[in-house]
Chain A
Amino acid sequence: QSVLTQPPSVSGAPGQRVTISCTGTSSNIGAGYDVHWYQQLPGRPPKLLIYANRNRPSGVPDRFSGSKSGTSASLAISGLQADDEADYYCQSYDSSLSALFGGGTKLTVL
């Protein structure tokens, strides 16, 4: 069981907006550590989608956005497209400087 909690699955129709939550504790996200988000397509390595809570690497569409508040963070995807269907993971750190991943969320585009 992951220290960072994500919903196992979310779904939405093309064009809609979905959000994926990532809930931690005062020992990790709440301690001020940044949250990063990754997208993993089937059979592929993860891809950095959002870094430092709300920043997009070059090439990531602005349909993807991130936020953080207190002990939680969220990834929002607007204008859903079929090729957004993937697994999404949040990542942060704890006071022992170990990296932590959420359990992952499978996004289904209906």
Chain B
Amino acid sequence: EVQLLESGGGSVQPGGSLRLSCAVSGFTFSSYDVNWVRQAPERGLEWVSAFRGGPDTTYYADSVKGRFTISRDDSKNTLYLQMNSLRVEDTAVYYCAKVLVIGFYYSGLDVWGHGTTVIVSS
């Protein structure tokens, strides 16, 4: 069964840092592009970042560019999101999700984790 499991969320003060992890199983992790998507309380979905393979390329939403870094360790089947200089508006549930089709970045997100909650508050 294809699974993605996020961890690393928690409460942090503004200006602080957190590293989220997304452990995957049930598919060849290195073959698929993967994304982070977040959802603030009572708000809609917001795309955060993507890691695209062949060659490795990363993309970021303007709202997190320069503060967040996406990376992956294929040997550990794990995706990461290093979040620095956190702001109150970064408070959200963070989901990782894989694309539907191998090697096709634009193919939609077919499997999502259950999310990890980040709260940024003083």
Q: Which residues of A line the B interface, CB within 8 A?
A: 2, 33-34, 36, 38, 40, 45-48, 51-52, 57, 87, 89, 91, 93, 96-104
**B44 at interface by CB-CB < 8 Å:** yes
| Contact (Cβ within 8 A) A51 B110 | yes
Give the contact-size bracket for chain B: 20 to 34
**B68 at interface by CB-CB < 8 Å:** no
Residues of B within 8 A of A2 (CB): 44
Contact of B45 among A46, A93, A98 (CB under 8 A): A46
**B27 at interface by CB-CB < 8 Å:** no
| Contact (Cβ within 8 A) B115 A45 | yes
5 more contacts with CB within 8 A, not counting A40-B45, A98-B61, A99-B47, are A93-B106, A97-B105, A98-B47, A98-B59, A101-B44
Residues of A within 8 A of B47 (CB): 91, 98-101
Q: Which residues of B line the A interface, CB within 8 A?
A: 35, 37, 44-47, 50, 59-62, 95, 97, 100, 105-110, 112-115
Residue of B nearest to A40 (CB): B45
CB distance from B79 to the nearest CB of A (A): 15
| Contact (Cβ within 8 A) B105 A36 | no
CB distance from A49 to the nearest CB of B (A): 9
- Max chain A Cβ within 10 angstroms of own Cβ: one of B45, B46, B106: B45
CB distance from A62 to the nearest CB of B (A): 18
